Homo-oligomer: A and B are copies of this chain.
Amino acid sequence: MRFAASIVLLCVVAISSQAEDVRREVRFPDVPGYHTLACDFHMHTVFSDGLVWPTVRVREAWRQGLDAIAITDHVEYRPHKDDISTGHNRPYDLARSGALAENVLLARAVEITRETPPGHFNAIFIDDADLIETPDFVEAIKRANEQGGFVFWNHHEWKGAERGRWLDVHSTLYDNGWLHGMEIANGSSYYPTAHAWCLEKNLTMIGSSDIHAPDLRRENTAAEHRTLTLVFAKERTLDALQQALRKGRTVVWFDDQLIGRASLLTSLFHCCVQVSAPHFRAKNYVMAEIHNLCAADIHLQRRGDVGPSQLTLPALSTSLVRISTDRPDEALQLDYEATNLLVRPASGLPVTLEFAAAGAE
C-alpha cells in the first residue's frame, strides 16, 4: 500500500469492491425484548493523548465485533497540540463516514478532564464538542446535558488525595440530574464503591477500555477482551442505545465477570446457558449436557443439595455433568450461585438449572 494508502484506509469502502477484513462478533445472545449490544464508550486518539487516528477506533470496533463506540478525547488535556490544534469535533467528524459504512454506531463525545475533584467525566451523544470547553466545570457538564448528553463519571478512584470520594460537586451534578452513570470498571480496574453507588443511586453501570494505544486484539474472547458495556436496546440504533443507557439496561463485562442488575443478569444467564434433558439415566445418577452459548466462562457454586458442588461452564462450549439422584427419571432442579455474575460487590447471581423428567423432553 502506498501513495493512496490513506484513502484506501480511511475510505476503504468507497474504493474497494471486495469484502473487507473480517469481523468476529462479540458473542452474547440477545435477551427477550432487547438486542444485546457490545459497546465501548471511552477511548482516545491522537487528538488528545491517544496514539491512533480516529478512523482506527472504528476499524478496531468493527473487527472486534463491537456494535457501538464513542471517541472521548480529553477537552482540557491535549499533549499533541503543538502538532494537532484543530477543534474537539474533529475526531468524530473524521471517523463518521467509516462508521456509517462499517455499521458501527458512533456517538459524538468528549472526556471532560479536571483535576480530582471533580475528576474526569465522559459526555456522550452530544451535538457540538467545542461548546463543552469552558473553564467552569459544572457549566461544562450542564452544557453537555443541554445538548442531550449522557454523562458518566470515569475511574473515580483514580489519582489525587481526594480520589474515590463523593463530594459536594458530585451531589450538585447528581441532584440536577446531570450525572447518569459511573464507570464501575475501566481497563484492568474494577471499582466496588462505584458499583455499590450505581445500585444505591440508580446510576447506569459502565465498563470501558479507555484505550490510548492501538488495540491489538482481533476479537473479544474469554481469554482476552476489552472491558465492555453490554447494552440491552430495543433496536440497534443510536437512539435506542441512548434510551437503554438512560434506563440503566447495562451489564459490564470485566475480566471474567459480568456485572449488572439481577434482573438483567438473570435474563442474560438463561439466554447464555441452555440445559439439555438428561441423555443417560442410571440407577442413581443421570448424565446431562449444559451449553454455554456466550463468550464468557460461567462459574457455578452449589447452593442446594443436588448437583456437583462446583461447575465451570467454559465459553462457547458444552459441559458434561453427572447428577447423583435416587430418582433419575424425575425432573431435577439444581440451585447454584453464578459466582462471576455479580449483582452486588462480591455477591453472585442465584440461578436454577432445570432438567426435564424422563419422557417430558
Contacts and interface: CB of A to CB of B under 8 A. Distances in A.
Contact of A6 (B17, B53, B79, B82): B79
A317 B22 CA distance: 6
A308 B24 CA distance: 21
A10 B82 CA distance: 15
Contacts of A176: none
Interface string A5-48: 11111100110111111111100000000000000000010111
B84 A83 contact: yes
A270 B314 CA distance: 29
A25 B321 CA distance: 16
Nearest to A99: B280
Contacts of A322: 13-14, 16-18, 101
B23 A74 contact: no
A24 B319 CA distance: 9
A218 interface: yes
Interface stretch (A54-62, A260-268, A340-348): A54-62
A280 B154 CA distance: 33
B317 A2 contact: no
A287 B103 contact: yes
Nearest to A289: B103
A56 B56 CA distance: 13
B309 A17 contact: yes
A201 interface: no
Interface stretch (A129-137, A190-198, A206-214, A331-339): A206-214
A171 interface: no
A197 to B, nearest CB: 19
Given A53-B80, A320-B13, A322-B13, A101 B6 contact: no
Contact of A2 (B2, B13, B120, B218): B120
A76 to B, nearest CB: 9
A74 to B, nearest CB: 7
A21 to B, nearest CB: 7
A339 B245 CA distance: 45
**In the complex, which of the residues A113, A154, A214, A308 has the most CB atoms of chain B within 10 Å of its own CB atom?**
A214
A49 interface: yes
Contacts of A2: 120, 154-155, 158-159, 186, 210
Contacts of A279: 103
B18 A311 contact: yes
**In the complex, which of the residues A13, A16, A155, A308 has the most CB atoms of chain B within 10 Å of its own CB atom?**
A13
Contacts of A319: 19-20, 22-23
Contact of A53 (B14, B52, B186): B52
Contacts of A309: 17-18
A19 B320 contact: yes
Contacts of A210: 1-2, 5
A289 B94 CA distance: 22
A303 interface: no
A243 interface: no
Contacts of A310: 18
Contacts of A113: 3
22 contacts: A3-B113, A5-B50, A6-B49, A7-B49, A8-B212, A13-B320, A16-B322, A17-B324, A19-B319, A20-B320, A21-B320, A22-B314, A23-B289, A50-B53, A51-B52, A51-B53, A52-B53, A56-B213, A56-B214, A83-B94, A101-B280, A103-B289
